[in-house]
Structure 1
C-alpha cells in the first residue's frame, strides 16, 4: 500500500466507497484503453486511492499489466512541456533528440502504440486547453492504445469539462468529497487503534473542529494524538488528549 500522509504508524486504509471505486475505475480504464477523471477537494484521499490502485496493477500477470507513467506539471504548462516530459517518461532519456514539437508528437505516437500503457496526469487542473487537446490527440490517434487518467483537486473538472472534445470521451469519472459526518466514528475506529474505543461524540467533535471530513486533516490530528497517547501511557484518545492535540495544532479550529 502507498504510505500514509506523515507516515502515520498503525493507520489502516479505509475501505470507503471512493477508495474502492478508484480501483475499479483504474482497472476499467486499462481494460478499455479509455479516459477517466478522479477529482475533488484537497485532502479527501484522491492521491492515496490512486496510488493504491496503481500498486494493485503490479499484481496482474505480465501480459495484461500496463506500463504506468505519472506526470505532474507546473501551473499552465506548454504543449512542448507536455510532449517533452511524456517522452522522457516513456523512453527514460533526459533530453529529447528533437526540439520540434511535431517531431516529438510523432515519436510519442509510436511509443504509445505498444506495449499497453496507463498515463496518469496529476494536478490536472493546471492544464491549459492546448495541453488537454494534445493529450486527447495522442489518445485518439488510430495507432495508439493507452489508458489516460486525469487526477486533480479543486477546479479540475471545471477545467477539463470546458473542452467538449475531452468531456465527450470521459469513460469513467469519480468526484471525491469529504467523509459523511455520520460515518466518521465507525471509519475512524477502523482507521487507527487510538479510536477503537473512543466515544462517538468525541470523534464527531474532532471532525467538526479539525477533521472536516478530510483524510489529510485526520492524519495530522491522529499523528499528534497518537504521540500524546503514547506519552500518557493510554491506548484510547480521550477529551484531555483531544484538547492537548488542539493546543499543538493551533487551537484546533480550521
Structure 2
C-alpha cells in the first residue's frame, strides 16, 4: 500500500499493521469467496473497513478477477437492490470479489464484499438475510494502541508508551484515521521544531490543529 492511500492522508513511511481485526477480515473474506457469498464489514468512520477490504483483496488479485465498485457520494447512494447485480463472466478465474458491487449468482460464480454498507443492506431484509458474514470493526483498545502504533509509523517507534497513550486519550481515541491525521501533524512538528522524538509538548502543538 502506498503512503498516499492511507486513510486519505499523504503519510510517507506508514505501514499496514496486521491487527486482529485485519486477520479476522482476511479469514472472513477467504470463507466468503469460497462460499460465493456476500459479506459486510461495518463499523464507525475511520475504523479501517475499506482499508481491510482493499488489503485483503489485493492479496487475491494475482489469481482472481477482483472488481471494485465504489460510491463516492454515500448519503445519496442508491438502494442496495439497484447495485447488487450479477457481474457476468470475465473469462478469467471463477471467483469475482467486489467491494460494494456484484451480487453472487450461479451464472457469474462471484462473491460480494461490502464495506460501509450495513445501514443500506439492513433496510432490505431480503438482502440482509443473504449476508454470509457480518464483521463489526471497533476502535483499537488502549492495549492494542500500544502494540500497533509503534509499528504503524517511525515517529512512534521510539516514543514513550505514556506519550502514545496520552495522544490516544486526547486525540486519536483508537481510530486509525485519527491516528493517521495526528501522525501527519506530528511529522510536521518534528521537522519544524527540531525535536529528536515525540514528547507531550510537541503533541500539544499537533492537537491544536485538530480541535
Counterparts of 2:107 and 2:17, CA distance in 1 = 40
1:150 partnered with 2:114: yes
Residue aligned with 1:20, SS = helix
More helix by share: 1
What CA RMSD, in Å, does the superposition of the two structures yield over aligned residues? 2.6
Aligned match for 1:200, one of 142, 161, 179: 161
Alignment of 1:99-118 (within 5 A): 108=86, 111-112=88-89, 115=92, 116=94, 117-118=96-97
Bigger Rg, which one? 1
**Structure 1 gap segments, 5+ residues each:** 87-107, 123-134
Give the direction of change, closer, same or farther, for the CA distance of 1:208–1:232 in structure 2 (3 Å limit). same
Counterparts of 1:20 and 1:80, CA distance in 2 = 30
**How many residues were matched structurally?**
204
**Structure 2 gap segments, 5+ residues each:** none
TM-score scaled by length of structure 2: 0.83
- Report deviation, 1:16: 0.9
Q: Look up the match of 2:6.
A: 4
- Report deviation, 1:213: 0.8
Give deviations 1:26-48, integer Å, cap 9, x for gaps: 22222221111111100011111
Alignment of 1:32-47 (within 5 A): 32-47=35-50
Residue aligned with 1:44, SS = coil
- Report deviation, 1:148: 0.9
